[in-house]
Structure formats: structure tokens, C-alpha cells
């Protein structure tokens, strides 16, 4: 969007106190505090604040939001026969993730009053110095928790909050941020100031969240609707670039087929310390990218536009962090290829460098963090060095894919330093990173197609 002249901002919610210490707030992941932060941001936008002001108030809300969760059982991913993880009978898992990632530790199951204390105590430790005591509160069920049980917890929590001198402002109790079939709950607090309180209390009317009374237009009034986003206008590429675009679309189709076949295995790898949905996301994203590329080719797009639109579709359909990263990578790569002529090996290698830069800029990962960057860096360096040494693109790509594969396998010896897997770092040790493995797989598929199109 920025590249198209549309001012956009990215806000990473970081409310989970279980995922990093108070001294490293930027390394925390987002959990049910998403609801509070997004509600504040939406109310600010509805009030007419400009983008800078909306971003500023959303960042302040994020800094003031803390959450902690517990689970009695794991969630089930669609299409899977069993839960992502299990909790031993008579125990409770503490510090779970928003997508159903396992907790950071388990403890004996205790009565409701003690569970309420488990939820609240880690949040009280984060109370800002001198705070007046007014808090927005969300007690959130995870998808398979009876409302009666949530209300029992709320009964205990309300007394504990009062004993700590805290006043809940329009608290919410219900299921808002859930994982399929997951039994458990989370507690979120937002330390309010006057502006944040006004925005929290402002009316809202969304499909799954309503607060207060939203004004209704007068009878007969015509509501002005925002114009629908128009489909991207495709400017025809040169004949040579159109031919290259057809090749790009074919490669993406092969990648999509390979990722669909690897979906279950990638999910299994991801489930070691993540939410187990990496295979699903990669399969959905690549299928959407392949379809978008085919459509762009039919409309006469050149190679750069084909790859850029494929990236947009990947990000839109895959969801999650990996979807966004693949989206910006393919768009950056496409911009390097352009639509005027057939991309040569040097241009392709430059596109790979641009894609890596876009991923690092968006995600912040570096080699050693146990992410797809650990496989992408050796791929990009290997491709660039081989092309600079005079190797033809197919052989240079295949060699770089081998570099990426070795690096991806080597991530088994690393522990994650970023992302949702970070709180479960020890569980990840001995298992490769799913994002690195899938990237290496994609590189190998493209390499095989380039060196032997009939065999790939």
C-alpha cells in the first residue's frame, strides 16, 4: 500500500505478559488484548482523528494493555482429527497463545477463586506507577468455555479488583478471541486515562462486538457509502515480459501444488512450538497467488505485475505473519522485475535481495532468530554470488536452493528469538522452523522447474 502512495501503518499488539518480560515489551505477542487495542483505534478513527493521531492513541492503548490466559485443553485445527496439544487431566496450562499455542507451563487444577488469582496476579505486577485505578477489563472465553463458568470467575475477579483499588469500566465477559474447541479463558486489562476511557466507552457496532447505542440515520436519509475498491488496472507488459509473466505464473502453480502436498507435514513441524497452521496458511496463500498470477497473465500483465499481484493475493488469503511476509516479498521482487523486458539473471538476483530487505523491514528478523530469514539469507547470497560468477540462472537458482535447504535443516539447533514460538523456545529445540522449511521447499520446486521443466 505504501508503494502505491496510500499511507498505511502497522501496529503489532504486544499484550501477552507470559511471552516476554516487562523489560522486553516489544518481544511480547498479541493475544486477547487485540480487542481492546483495536476498539480504541476504531473509536479514534470514528471520532475523525487523522491517521497520525489514530496511530498514536492505538500505540498508547497497546502499551497500557496486558493479558494472561489459561487452558484446560488444546484447540482443534480445521481438518485435523485431534487437538493441537493436550493438557493432562487435573491440570491447567498457563500462558497460551492467541492461535492455540500451548502454554508455557502446566500446574495442578485449583478452585475457581485460585484460577482467578492466577489470571490476575501477573497483570497486577504491570500496573503503571501512580495509575488512578480505572481499567477496561475483558474476561475472554477461548471457544469451549461455558458462560456460567466465566461468570463464576468474574464473581471472584470483581472482588479481587476492588481489593486492589481497581474500578472496572464497562467490563466485557464473553467469547471474543477464540480458538476452535479450546477450553479456557484469558484476562485482559487496559490501564485507562481520560482519553482512552472515552474511546473504550464509545459506541461500537461490529458483527461480533457491540457496545452502547450507535446513532441511527434519520428516516429517509441517504447514507453515503465509501466507494468500493476498484480492481487493479493492469497495463499490458511488453511481449517479452508477458512471456516471462507466463513463466512466473507456471512456477507459482507448481509451488502451490507442492505446498498443498506438504500442508500436513508443515503443520506438524509448526505445532512443535506454534499454532500448527503454517501448512494451511502456505497452501491457501500459494493457491491464491497462483490464481491471481494466472488472471494477470490473461489480462496481458508483464512479469513484474504478475508477481506483485500474486504477492498481494498471497498476503490476503494466507493470513498470519507468514502470509504478510510472503506478500511483501513477492511484491518487492515483482517491482524489481518490472514489465518492460525479459528479466535477466542479474535482475532476478536483485529482486531476491529486494524481497529479503522487504521481509526484514516488515518482520525485523535476523539470521539466528529461527525464522524463514535463516533460509532466505543463504538463498539470496548464494543466488547473487553464483549469478555474479557467470552461472546461468537455472543452475544458480538450484545451487541457492540447496543452500537454503541446508540452512533450513540447521534451524533445528536454534531456539526462536522472535514470533509466537519464542515463549516455547525449549520445545522448539531439535525441530526445524516451519517457515524456513517451506521457503526451502519453494526454492527447490522453482529450481527443479528451471533446470528441467519436463521433470518438475
- Here the CATH number for the domain that contains residue 45 is 3.30.1180.20
Q: Nearest to residue 405, comparing CAs of 372, 357, 365?
A: 372
For residue 182, tell me if it sits in a domain.
Answer: yes
Say if 285 falls within a structural domain.
yes
- Helix (H) or strand (E) holding 434, with range, is helix 434-451
Q: Are residues 338 and 420 in the same domain?
A: yes
Q: Rounded CA gap, 83 and 180, in Å?
A: 9
Pair (45, 145) in one structural domain: yes
Report if residue 216 sits inside a domain.
no
Cα 41 to its chain centre, rounded Å, is 19
pLDDT band at 290 (very low <50, low <70, confident <90, very high): very high
Strands (E), 212-336: none
Report the pLDDT averaged over residues 229-252.
85
**pLDDT band (50, 70, 90) for residue 283:** very high
Q: Are residues 69 and 115 in the same domain?
A: yes
Q: Is residue 224 part of a domain?
A: no
Residue 293 in domain:
yes
Residue 172 falls inside a structural domain: yes
CB atoms within 10 A of CB 392: 12
Residues 442 and 297 in one domain: yes
Query: How confident is the prediction for the chain on average, in pLDDT?
Result: 88
What CATH number does residue 298 fall under? 1.25.40.340
Same domain? For 261 and 175 the reply is no
227 part of a folded domain: no
- Tell me what pLDDT residue 321 has: 83
Please check the confidence at residue 43 and state whether its pLDDT lies above 80.
Answer: yes
| pLDDT (mean) for 405-422 | 82
- % residues pLDDT > 90 (the chain): 63
| Band of residue 441 on the pLDDT scale cut at 50, 70, 90 | very high
Bridge partners of 206? 209
Per the listing, cell 546461468 goes with 392
Predicted confidence at residue 1, as pLDDT, reads 59
Joined together, the cell numbers standing for residue 96 give 497460551
Q: State the Cα–Cα distance between residues 322 and 434, nearest whole angstrom.
A: 10
**What is the arithmetic mean of pLDDT over 274-285?**
85
Q: Give the best-scoring range by mean pLDDT among 151-165, 226-240, 404-418.
A: 151-165
What is the number of domains present in the chain?
2
CA–CA gap between residue 148 and residue 144 (Å, rounded): 12
E-only strand ranges, 236-371? none
Q: What was the pLDDT predicted at 389?
A: 96
Lowest mean pLDDT among 7-16, 71-80, 101-110, 113-122: 71-80
**Cα–Cα distance, 454 to 456 (Å, whole number):** 6
pTM: 0.69
**Quick one: pLDDT at residue 329?**
96
197 and 270 share a domain?
A: no
Least confident of 117-126, 192-201, 385-394, 424-433: 424-433
Characterize the bridge pairing of strands 172-174 and 134-141: parallel
Both 256 and 377 in a single domain?
A: yes
Q: How far apart are CA 112 and CA 160, in angstroms?
A: 13
Query: Both 115 and 17 in a single domain?
Result: yes
* Of 99, 156, 278, 431, catalytic: 99
DSSP reduced 3-state for 301: coil
Q: How far apart are the first and last CA of the chain?
A: 34
Do residue 166 and residue 261 come from a single domain? no
Q: Is the pLDDT of residue 93 over 90?
A: no
Give yes or no: residues 338 and 431 share one domain.
Answer: yes
| pLDDT tens, position by position, 306-364 | 999 999 999 999 877 889 999 999 999 999 999 998 999 999 999 999 999 999 998 88
Active-site annotation holds for 131:
no
- Please check whether residues 206 and 258 belong to one and the same domain: no
Q: What cell was used for 288?
A: 491464491
Structural domain for 99, as ranges: 2-77+84-210
Q: Round to whole Å and give the CA distance between 63 and 84.
A: 30
Confirm whether 197 is domain-assigned: yes
* Between residues 194 and 423, the one the model is more confident about: 194
Same domain (yes/no): 202, 331: no
Amino acid at each position: 500500500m505504501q508503494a502505491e502512495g496510500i499511507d498505511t501503518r502497522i501496529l503489532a499488539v504486544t499484550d501477552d505478559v507470559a511471552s516476554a518480560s516487562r523489560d522486553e515489551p516489544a518481544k511480547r505477542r498479541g493475544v486477547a488484548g487485540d480487542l481492546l487495542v483495536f476498539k480504541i483505534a476504531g473509536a479514534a478513527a470514528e471520532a475523525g482523528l487523522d491517521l497520525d493521531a489514530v496511530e498514536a492513541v492505538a500505540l498508547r492503548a497497546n502499551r497500557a494493555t496486558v493479558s494472561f490466559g489459561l487452558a484446560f485443553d488444546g484447540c482443534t485445527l480445521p481438518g485435523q482429527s485431534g487437538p493441537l496439544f493436550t493438557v493432562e487431566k487435573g491440570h491447567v496450562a498457563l500462558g497460551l497463545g492467541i492461535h492455540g499455542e500451548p502454554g508455557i507451563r502446566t500446574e495442578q487444577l485449583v478452585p475457581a477463586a485460585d484460577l482467578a488469582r492466577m489470571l490476575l496476579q501477573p497483570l497486577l505486577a504491570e500496573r503503571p506507577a501512580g495509575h488512578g485505578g480505572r481499567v477496561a477489563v475483558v474476561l475472554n472465553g477461548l471457544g469451549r468455555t461455558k458462560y456460567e463458568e466465566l461468570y463464576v470467575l468474574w464473581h471472584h475477579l470483581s472482588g479481587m479488583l476492588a481489593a486492589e483499588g481497581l474500578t472496572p469500566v464497562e467490563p466485557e465477559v464473553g467469547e471474543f478471541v477464540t480458538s476452535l474447541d479450546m477450553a479456557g479463558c484469558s484476562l485482559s486489562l487496559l490501564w485507562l486515562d481520560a482519553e482512552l476511557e472515552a474511546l473504550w466507552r464509545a459506541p461500537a457496532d461490529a458483527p461480533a462486538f457491540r457496545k452502547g447505542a450507535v446513532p441511527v440515520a434519520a428516516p429517509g436519509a441517504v447514507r453515503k457509502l465509501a466507494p468500493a475498491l476498484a480492481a487493479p488496472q493492469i497495463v499490458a507488459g511488453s511481449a517479452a515480459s508477458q512471456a516471462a509473466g507466463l513463466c512466473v505464473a507456471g512456477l507459482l502453480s507448481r509451488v502451490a501444488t507442492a505446498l498443498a502436498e506438504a500442508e500436513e507435514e508443515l503443520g506438524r513441524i509448526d505445532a512443535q512450538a506454534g499454532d500448527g497452521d503454517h501448512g494451511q496458511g502456505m497452501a491457501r496463500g500459494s493457491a491464491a497467488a497462483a490464481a491471481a498470477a494466472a488472471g494477470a497473465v490473461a489480462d496481458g500483465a508483464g512479469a513484474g505485475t504478475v508477481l506483485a499481484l500474486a504477492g498481494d493475493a498471497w498476503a490476503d488469503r494466507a493470513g498470519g505473519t507468514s502470509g504478510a511476509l510472503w506478500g511483501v516479498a513477492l511484491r518487492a521482487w515483482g517491482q524489481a522485475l518490472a514489465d518492460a523486458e525479459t528479466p535477466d539473471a542479474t535482475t532476478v538476483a536483485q529482486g531476491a535481495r529486494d524481497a529479503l530487505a522487504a521481509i526484514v523491514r516488515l518482520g525485523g528478523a535476523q539470521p539466528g532468530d529461527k525464522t524463514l530469514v535463516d533460509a532466505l539469507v543463504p538463498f539470496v547470497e548464494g543466488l547473487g554470488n553464483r549469478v555474479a560468477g557467470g552461472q546461468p540462472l537455472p543452475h544458480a537458482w538450484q545451487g541457492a536452493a540447496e543452500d537454503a535447504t541446508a540452512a533450513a535443516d540447521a534451524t533445528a539447533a536454534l531456539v526462536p528469538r522472535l514470533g509466537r514460538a519464542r515463549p516455547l523456545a525449549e520445545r522448539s529445540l531439535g525441530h526445524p522452523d516451519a517457515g524456513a522449511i517451506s521457503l526451502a521447499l519453494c526454492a527447490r520446486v522453482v529450481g527443479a522447474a528451471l533446470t528441467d521443466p519436463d521433470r518438475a
